[in-house]
């Protein structure tokens, strides 16, 4: 793999900064201290097609209207702060570019959680559901002096579901969750999957019990919105179905 | 009135360091612990760390903690305290096993052990060749650490105050009594009374224009303590990571070079062969970043403006890239439209890591002067702290190691301290300072926008105080900072509401950033040598006779800046010229 | 927002009351497969092999006079009702959010289903359509 | 409206058809049960009532619904028990729709005129 002397000279496609284009940004706004109900606000501004939606929001906040409120931190899709309903689907604002959306962009808070202000929603019910599935490693055996062994194959089984950043894009895209907020939701199941299929973990009996509750796993109607929405490309529905089967065979 | 809370141990910050500290503090029965964070814990920037955590496990090839200690000291250009580096390189091995025991899903070797790979500056036998020391979970090691620690804190039933901004630390008669925090949801101030307070609030990279750091990394607590008279140690040592995505700064881990990636200039030349013949692209970050800047300065930069370098992964097996570097591959595809499997990726150095910070002892106790006078009840760990492990330049993977080693120490030490003392009385009017500052900003009617001041700060810091510095650029920046302070006083906010006022908080954070920039620029201006990440074009050599010492930057009551120094703890490893 | 963090298993148990969701899930699949045959055969018999526009009392009574039809229709009735009522329960639990209303909606659903089941069974088994059919034929 | 894809619409349709079928089933059992009251009973009168337009169209929709629901039901079962069912769920949905059309249209050609009383 050590290519000390280059056999060819790769220069790559030059990266141009594209010109600014005018866009219209529609934002569903709500300030509990002023507004009786949410309303749509429109902003017209020039941005680059390669800007992230988060950059556009920042430009609006920093240049046009400081009152606009949203969560953000990492700005590259790893912290899970800025899941929003963008042009009708759940996306991370920092992981979708203007050029993928066109010149009119609409942004709303994610659904099924209470809107607190503009794009802020109450995340507590989401985290409560997550916490309910015992999303932590359980193994009461004496700890070995070094690591517990796990084959690369065993590690691979649950690789996808270790990627979750708890952004809630999936849960708040789920039609069942919108109307039945007591449904655990895909994010919680994903995080249960991460442990259920970890060969080192021993906590499955308890976890399965939670999954099996009336608002648990079985409420999933395989609508796939979660899978489409996940910014980490976790095959969520696949994971849910794996847990369903595991639970079924276990009970059988 | 402010709401009041009381906990034996208070942890400020819920990144890797904070969560580790909380976990260890909470293991002492009878000690109550709470964690305050301005972000939900899993949003902390530890989650962005990609490449790995360095520990001499020797799972792939022979390795020893002594080698690791040596690499750390040498990588830090001998400014690291050697007692700290030695302790660290031994303890980090335990800490990594412990993470594994908490369930952290490391990638695995065929034998089922924790997988390890090469990383910049990590060598076998004191510099002979690169060694596989970075324990990793694909390119999401930090994510896994953060998630695992948060998961454990759920198991341990740790109490969290999320989206609370700590805006002041209460120091009275030389000891810490707790903090003042602003609740974003309500706009209320809360007073947290504590026996021991642990600061773990991460970095301050947002003072630069191109950075790998999150929007939230504004050096809040470094500034708060600075204003309270605690010095900042070694702030001039700020690391630029060689491979940030062109223009946006999103990081591409050094693991990419660990897996065989190569940096090339416009001629397609592997220029690192000239700068570091032995380990080439895996030289420490400061050297690589400087080399890249020099290539660009000499006209060998790539692109229409000849202002970037290429990271070439195209010769690596596509399957390996997809398996070991999936996230950064995706970043390049999304943000630059470049597929690393097919084409080299445009990169440029990006502001990354503060080697300096709140000065602490090896036991994470905060110190207030060059005589190592301890501030009772105050601890610091993680990127915000400076236990002098990283010296003048941090080695890749040593930050995650720092979090778990010193986070753990902080938790243990703070709990021990809290168990041994009573609550000291809470003085009156502790919220006054914070309240009046918030009221001032809310009521201000000036015409300035925080965003404009911040942008000016970031642009000028990038121009004048980044990879290369001269007395002229730094002097210039001192003046610019003074002007920016004046402009800051004119900043007003449009959002005067109480609930979820993020504009108000951004403005407060800008104030913190200005302090951080001040510390850095003054430290850099005074240090007339080049060492590690601090590179002066007017003093290009390292000067051990005069400058083998740590900087301490103080804020005086009248607002002026005072610089002091303290000695470096030396040991086995004699300072030598740093060649790789 | 301050969160006294975690949900313990105990709390989780309190939040989510146990039920036979798994069993129902399996039943939906098995009954669904059975219904494919039952329903399609039913439609075939009544709408394709026969002109649906001409259905009248005589036709129905004639059909119900045959024991094989009785048995077939009993299966159809049982599976379809159970499958359908459980499906309706899913919908109620998803859309009727207030606990009180949800209770009454489900109570009403189960009552109606019970009545319909009794009606259906009676229709199939309690009468002799031979006689009634004969009466009709006589009438014509 | 949330811009979901195949999976979402498959679910919405499955639920709508399911609920429609279940409600129809309840009515259907009730009206058939009227045969209990003998030839002089209300059965034929009821049938006459059903022969009104909205009910005739409704009956056609119910038949289309049951075909879709059945095929999509099989799609769901395939997803539940096979990995490829999940992987190709989108294609399977188009398949279910296609089968619905293939089976449904001939049936409708036969049945619609009869139900509408044209034939
Ligand atoms: C892109 C990237 C990749 C990296 N990769 C690696 C790597 O591969 N290996 C390695 O060793 N290191 C790496 N690092 C460095 C390392 O990740 C960081 O230094 C480290 O994660 C910092 O952790 P922390 O716990 O100190 O702070 P953080 O994780 O940044 O957490 C800070 C916490 O403090 C809270 N906080 C901040 N201010 C306040 C306030 N005023 N009030 C209340 N709470 C507050 C925040 O909410 C947050 O919870 C990387 C860094 C970056 C940016
Ligand atoms: C013809 C063959 C049929 C098959 C293969 C079938 C299959 C299924 C399956 C697998 C489900 C479960 C869906 C899920 O869990 O996501 C379901 C749900 C349902 N079915 Fe059927 N079914 C059939 C006929 C019927 C009939 C005749 C009725 C009406 C009585 C009916 C009413 C319902 C209802 C109401 C639901 C619930 C829908 C939901 O929750 O979204 N089904 N069906
Ligand atoms: S599963 Fe995906 S969409 Fe859901 S919370 Fe995790 S990262 Fe977000
Ligand atoms: S959207 Fe909802 S219904 Fe299931 S497949 Fe996803 S959780
Ligand atoms: S800001 Fe972190 S995920 Fe978008």
Per-residue three-class SS string for C48-70: HCCCHHHCCHHHHHHHHCCHHHH
**Residue D114 phi, psi (nearest 5):** -65, -45
Cβ of residue A244 closer than 8 Å to a chain C Cβ = yes
Expressed in angstroms, the distance from the first to the final Cα of chain C is 80
The rounded Å distance from CA C89 to ligand 2 centre is: 12
Paired residues of B116 in beta bridges:
B135
Contact check, Cβ <8 Å, D44/C56: yes
CA atoms of A92 and C71, how far apart (whole Å): 57
DSSP state of D12: H
Q: For a substitution probing ligand 4, which of A161, A221, A241 has the most ligand atoms within 8 Å of its CB?
A: A221
Instruction: Report yes or no: A194 and A158 within 8 Å, Cβ to Cβ.
Output: yes
Cβ of residue A149 closer than 8 Å to a chain B Cβ = yes
**Phi-psi sector, B306: left (phi>0), alpha (psi -120 to 50), beta:** left
The rounded Å distance from CA A93 to ligand 5 centre is: 7
C-beta A187 within 6 A of ligand 3: yes
CA angle C44, C47, C51 (to 5 degrees): 135
Average pLDDT, chain A: 92
Kindly identify which residue of chain A lies nearest to residue D93, measuring between CA atoms: A223
Token couple for A16 = 């141009």
Find how far residue A97's CA is from the centre of its chain.
Answer: 17
Contact check, Cβ <8 Å, B154/C5: yes
In a domain, A92, yes or no: yes
In a domain, C94, yes or no: yes
**Chains B+D touching (3+ CB pairs under 8 Å):** no
Identify the three-state secondary structure at position B238. strand
In a domain, D1, yes or no: no
Choose one of A57, A91, A121: the last residue of a domain: A121
C-beta A250 within 6 A of ligand 2: no
Chains that touch C (3 or more CB pairs under 8 A): A, B, D
Flag whether pLDDT at A240 surpasses 70.
yes
- Give the residue carrying structure tokens 């309270």: B228
Contacts of B451 in chain A (CB under 8 A): 61-63
Instruction: Report yes or no: D89 and D79 within 8 Å, Cβ to Cβ.
Output: yes
Flag whether pLDDT at C42 surpasses 50.
yes
Contacts of A4 in chain B (CB under 8 A): 270, 273
Flag whether pLDDT at A6 surpasses 50.
no
State the pLDDT at residue B115: 97
pLDDT band at C15 (very low <50, low <70, confident <90, very high): very low
Cβ of residue D4 closer than 8 Å to a chain A Cβ = yes
Least confident range from B16-20, B45-49, C125-129, D104-108: namely C125-129
Find how far residue A22's CA is from the centre of its chain.
Answer: 29
pLDDT band at A13 (very low <50, low <70, confident <90, very high): low
Residues of chain B with pLDDT under 50: none
Asked whether the whole model's pTM tops 0.90, one would answer yes
The rounded Å distance from CA A177 to ligand 3 centre is: 14
State the pLDDT at residue C7: 43
State the pLDDT at residue A5: 44
Q: Based on the fold, state whether residues A128 and A243 are members of the same structural domain.
A: yes
C-beta C65 within 6 A of ligand 2: no
State the pLDDT at residue C3: 29
Q: Based on the fold, state whether residues A68 and A130 are members of the same structural domain.
A: no
Residue A146 sits in a domain whose CATH number is 1.10.1060.10
By alpha-carbon position, which residue is closest to atom 49 of ligand 1?
B14
- In this structure, which long-range contacts are made by residues B360-366, counting pairs with CB atoms below 8 Å and at least 24 apart in sequence? B360/B385, B360/B386, B360/B387, B360/B406, B361/B387, B362/B81, B362/B83, B362/B84, B362/B87, B362/B387, B362/B409, B363/B409, B363/B413, B364/B198, B364/B406, B364/B409, B364/B410, B364/B413, B364/B414, B365/B413, B366/B176, B366/B199, B366/B225, B366/B230
Q: Based on the fold, state whether residues A136 and A238 are members of the same structural domain.
A: yes
The rounded Å distance from CA A240 to ligand 4 centre is: 8
Cβ of residue C30 closer than 8 Å to a chain A Cβ = no
State the pLDDT at residue D53: 75
Q: Based on the fold, state whether residues A26 and A115 are members of the same structural domain.
A: yes
In a domain, C2, yes or no: no
State the pLDDT at residue C63: 84
Contacts of C1 in chain B (CB under 8 A): 162-163, 185
Query: Which position has the higher pLDDT, B166 or D110?
Result: B166
Q: Is B426 exposed, middle or buried (0-12, 13-18, 19+ CB in 10 A)?
A: middle
CA atoms of B75 and B50, how far apart (whole Å): 20
Contact check, Cβ <8 Å, C6/B157: yes
CA atoms of B529 and B549, how far apart (whole Å): 12
The CA distance from D27 to the nearest CA of chain A, in Å, is 26
CA angle B463, B464, B466 (to 5 degrees): 80
Token couple for A75 = 């700005």
CA atoms of A210 and A204, how far apart (whole Å): 10
Across residues A91-103, what is the average pLDDT?
Answer: 95
Q: Are strands B189-199 and B3-12 parallel, antiparallel or unpaired?
A: parallel
Range of the domain at D56: 6-115
The rounded Å distance from CA B99 to ligand 5 centre is: 25
CA angle B524, B528, B533 (to 5 degrees): 50
CA atoms of B544 and B136, how far apart (whole Å): 36
Across residues A208-232, what is the average pLDDT?
Answer: 93
Kindly identify which residue of chain D lies nearest to residue A84, measuring between CA atoms: D2
CA atoms of B242 and B522, how far apart (whole Å): 24
Range of the domain at C63: 17-139
Q: Based on the fold, state whether residues A41 and A157 are members of the same structural domain.
A: no
The CA distance from D17 to the nearest CA of chain A, in Å, is 14
For chain A, the domain total comes to 2
The CA distance from A197 to the nearest CA of chain B, in Å, is 12
Expressed in angstroms, the distance from the first to the final Cα of chain B is 59
Instruction: Report yes or no: B48 and A74 within 8 Å, Cβ to Cβ.
Output: yes
DSSP state of B558: T
Range of the domain at A129: 124-251
Identify the three-state secondary structure at position B120. strand
Q: Number of C-alpha atoms within 13 angstroms, CB side, residue A28?
A: 18
For chain D, the domain total comes to 1
Contact check, Cβ <8 Å, B449/A63: yes
C-beta A56 within 6 A of ligand 3: no
Task: In chain B, count H helices and then E strands.
Answer: 16, 22
Q: Percent of chain C beyond pLDDT 70?
A: 76
In a domain, A198, yes or no: yes
Q: How many Cβ atoms from other residues are within 10 Å of residue D84's Cβ?
A: 11
Choose one of A121, A156, A182: the last residue of a domain: A121
Paired residues of B380 in beta bridges:
B199
Contacts of C136 in chain D (CB under 8 A): 39
Paired residues of A42 in beta bridges:
A26
CA atoms of A103 and A25, how far apart (whole Å): 8
CA atoms of C48 and C38, how far apart (whole Å): 15
Q: Are strands B175-183 and B189-199 parallel, antiparallel or unpaired?
A: antiparallel
Cβ of residue B322 closer than 8 Å to a chain A Cβ = no
In a domain, A2, yes or no: no
Q: Which residue in B87, B8, B79, B49 sits closest to B364, CA to CA? A: B87
Residue A46 sits in a domain whose CATH number is 3.10.20.30
Choose one of A121, A152, A169: the last residue of a domain: A121
Residue D80 sits in a domain whose CATH number is 1.20.1300
Kindly identify which residue of chain B lies nearest to residue C8, measuring between CA atoms: B155
The rounded Å distance from CA A226 to ligand 4 centre is: 6
Question: ipTM of the assembly?
Answer: 0.92
In a domain, D80, yes or no: yes
Identify the three-state secondary structure at position B397. coil
Instruction: Report yes or no: B143 and B47 within 8 Å, Cβ to Cβ.
Output: yes
Token couple for B461 = 């810091």
Token couple for A39 = 């309303």
Identify the three-state secondary structure at position C136. helix
Paired residues of B34 in beta bridges:
B10, B159
Q: Based on the fold, state whether residues A137 and A21 are members of the same structural domain.
A: no
Chain A, residues 67-86, CB within 8 A of chain D, namely: 85
DSSP state of A22: E
Across residues A85-108, what is the average pLDDT?
Answer: 96
With a CB cutoff of 8 Å and minimum separation 6, the contacts of B393 are B75, B76, B77, B237, B239, B284, B285, B286, B355, B532, B533
Contact check, Cβ <8 Å, A10/B148: no
Contact check, Cβ <8 Å, A61/B344: no
Which residue stretches of chain A are H helix? 53-59, 124-132, 152-157, 175-179, 186-196, 204-211, 225-229, 236-251
DSSP state of B550: E
Q: Are strands A39-47 and A83-86 parallel, antiparallel or unpaired?
A: unpaired
Expressed in angstroms, the distance from the first to the final Cα of chain D is 41
Q: Which residue in B478, B472, B477 sits closest to B459, CA to CA? A: B477
Contact check, Cβ <8 Å, B161/C2: yes
In a domain, C92, yes or no: yes
Active site members of B: 285
Expressed in angstroms, the distance from the first to the final Cα of chain A is 50
CA atoms of B170 and B161, how far apart (whole Å): 18
Contacts of D63 in chain C (CB under 8 A): 43, 47
């Amino acid at each position: 793999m050590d290519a000390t002397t280059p056999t060819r000279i790769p220069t790559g496609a030059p990266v141009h900064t594209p010109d600014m284009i005018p866009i219209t940004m529609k934002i569903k706004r709500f300030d509990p201290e002023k507004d009786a109900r949410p309303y749509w606000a429109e902003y017209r501004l020039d941005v680059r097609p390669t800007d992230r939606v988060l950059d556009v929001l920042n430009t609006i906040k920093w240049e046009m209207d400081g009152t606009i409120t949203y969560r953000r931190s990492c700005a590259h899709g790893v912290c899970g702060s800025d899941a929003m309903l963008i042009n009708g689907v759940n996306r991370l604002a920092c992981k979708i570019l203007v050029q993928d959306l066109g010149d009119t962009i609409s942004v709303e808070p994610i659904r099924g959680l209470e809107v607190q202000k503009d794009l802020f929603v109450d995340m507590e019910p989401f985290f409560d559901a997550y916490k309910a599935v015992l999303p932590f490693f359980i193994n009461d055996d004496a700890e070995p002096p070094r690591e517990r062994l796990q084959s690369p194959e065993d590690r691979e089984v649950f690789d996808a579901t270790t990627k979750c950043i708890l952004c809630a894009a999936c849960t708040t895209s789920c039609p069942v969750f919108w109307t039945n907020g007591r449904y655990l939701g895909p994010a919680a199941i994903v995080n249960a999957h991460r442990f259920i299929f970890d060969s080192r973990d021993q906590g499955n009996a308890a976890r399965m019990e939670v999954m099996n509750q009336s608002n648990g796993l079985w409420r999933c109607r395989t609508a796939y919105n979660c899978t489409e929405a996940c910014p980490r490309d976790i095959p969520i529905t696949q994971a849910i179905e794996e847990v369903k089967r595991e639970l079924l065979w276990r009970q059988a | 009135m402010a709401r009041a809370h009381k906990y034996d141990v208070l942890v400020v910050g819920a990144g890797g360091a904070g969560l580790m500290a909380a976990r260890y503090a909470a293991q002492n029965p009878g000690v109550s612990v709470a964690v305050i964070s301005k972000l939900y814990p899993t949003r902390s920037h530890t989650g962005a760390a990609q490449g790995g955590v360095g520990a001499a496990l020797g799972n792939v090839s022979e390795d020893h903690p002594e080698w690791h200690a040596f690499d750390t000291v040498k990588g830090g250009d001998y400014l690291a305290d050697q007692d700290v580096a030695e302790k660290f390189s031994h303890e980090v091995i335990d800490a990594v096993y412990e993470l594994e025991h908490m369930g952290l899903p490391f990638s695995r070797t065929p034998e089922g052990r924790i997988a390890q790979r090469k990383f910049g500056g990590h060598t076998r036998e004191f510099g002979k060749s690169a060694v596989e020391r970075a324990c990793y979970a694909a390119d999401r090691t930090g994510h896994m650490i953060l998630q695992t620690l948060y998961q454990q804190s759920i198991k341990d039933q740790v109490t969290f105050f999320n989206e609370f901004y700590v805006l002041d630390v209460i120091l009275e008669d030389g000891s810490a009594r707790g903090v003042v925090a602003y609740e974003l949801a309500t706009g209320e101030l809360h007073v947290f009374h504590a026996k021991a307070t642990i600061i773990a609030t991460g970095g301050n990279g947002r003072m630069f224009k191109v950075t790998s750091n999150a929007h939230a990394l504004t050096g809040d607590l470094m500034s708060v303590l600075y204003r309270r008279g605690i010095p900042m140690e070694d702030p001039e040592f700020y690391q630029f990571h060689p491979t940030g995505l062109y223009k946006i700064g999103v990081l591409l881990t050094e693991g990419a070079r660990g897996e065989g990636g190569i940096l090339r200039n416009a001629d397609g030349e592997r220029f690192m062969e000239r700068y570091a013949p032995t380990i080439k692209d895996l030289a420490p970050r400061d050297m690589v970043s400087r080399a890249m800047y020099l290539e660009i300065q000499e006209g060998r930069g790539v692109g229409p403006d000849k202002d970037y370098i290429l990271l070439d992964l195209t010769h690596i097996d596509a399957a390996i890239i997809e398996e070991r570097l999936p996230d950064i591959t995706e970043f390049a595809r999304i943000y630059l439209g470049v597929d690393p499997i097919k084409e080299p990726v445009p990169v440029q150095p990006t502001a990354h890591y503060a080697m300096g910070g709140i000065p602490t002892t090896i036991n994470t106790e905060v110190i207030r002067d060059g005589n190592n006078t301890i501030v009772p009840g105050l601890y610091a760990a993680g990127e915000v702290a400076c236990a002098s492990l990283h010296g003048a330049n941090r080695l890749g993977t040593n930050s995650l190691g720092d979090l778990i080693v010193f986070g753990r120490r902080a938790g243990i030490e703070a709990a021990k301290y809290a168990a041994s003392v009573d609550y000291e009385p809470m003085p009156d009017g502790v919220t006054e300072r914070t309240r009046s500052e918030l009221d001032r900003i809310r009521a201000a009617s000036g015409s300035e926008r925080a965003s404009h001041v911040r942008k000016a700060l970031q642009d000028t810091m990038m121009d004048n105080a980044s990879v290369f510095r001269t007395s002229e650029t730094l002097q210039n920046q001192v003046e610019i900072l003074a002007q920016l302070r004046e402009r800051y006083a004119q900043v007003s906010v449009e959002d005067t509401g109480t609930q979820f006022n993020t504009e108000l908080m951004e403005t407060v954070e800008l104030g913190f950033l200005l302090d951080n920039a001040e510390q850095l620029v003054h430290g850099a201006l005074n240090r007339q040598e080049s060492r590690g990440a601090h590179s002066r074009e007017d003093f290009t050599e390292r000067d051990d006779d005069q400058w083998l010492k740590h900087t301490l930057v103080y804020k005086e009551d009248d607002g002026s800046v005072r610089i002091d120094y303290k000695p470096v703890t030396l040991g086995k490893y004699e300072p030598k010229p740093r060649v790789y | 927002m301050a969160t006294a963090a975690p949900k313990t298993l105990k709390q989780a148990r309190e939040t989510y009351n146990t039920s036979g969701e798994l069993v129902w899930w399996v039943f939906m699949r098995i009954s669904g497969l059975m219904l494919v045959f039952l329903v399609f055969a039913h439609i075939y018999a009544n709408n394709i092999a026969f002109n649906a526009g001409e259905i009248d009392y005589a036709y129905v009574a004639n059909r119900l006079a045959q024991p094989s039809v009785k048995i077939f229709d009993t299966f159809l009735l049982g599976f379809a009702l159970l499958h359908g009522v459980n499906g309706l329960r899913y919908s109620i639990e998803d859309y009727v959010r207030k606990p009180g209303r949800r209770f009454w909606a489900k109570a009403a659903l189960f009552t109606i289903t019970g009545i319909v089941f009794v009606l259906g069974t009676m229709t199939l088994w309690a009468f002799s359509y031979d006689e009634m059919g004969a009466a009709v034929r006589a009438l014509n | 409206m949330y811009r979901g894809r195949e999976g979402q619409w498959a679910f919405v349709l499955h639920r709508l058809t399911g609920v429609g079928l279940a409600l129809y089933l309840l009515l259907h059992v009730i009206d058939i049960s009227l045969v209990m009251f003998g030839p002089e009973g209300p059965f034929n009168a009821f049938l006459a009532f059903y022969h009104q337009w909205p009910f005739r169209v409704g009956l056609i929709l119910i038949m289309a619904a049951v075909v879709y629901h059945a095929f999509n039901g099989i799609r769901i079962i395939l997803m539940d028990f096979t990995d490829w069912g999940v992987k190709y769920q989108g294609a399977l949905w188009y398949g279910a729709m296609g089968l619905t059309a293939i089976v449904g249209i001939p049936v409708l050609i036969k049945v619609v005129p009869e139900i509408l009383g044209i034939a």
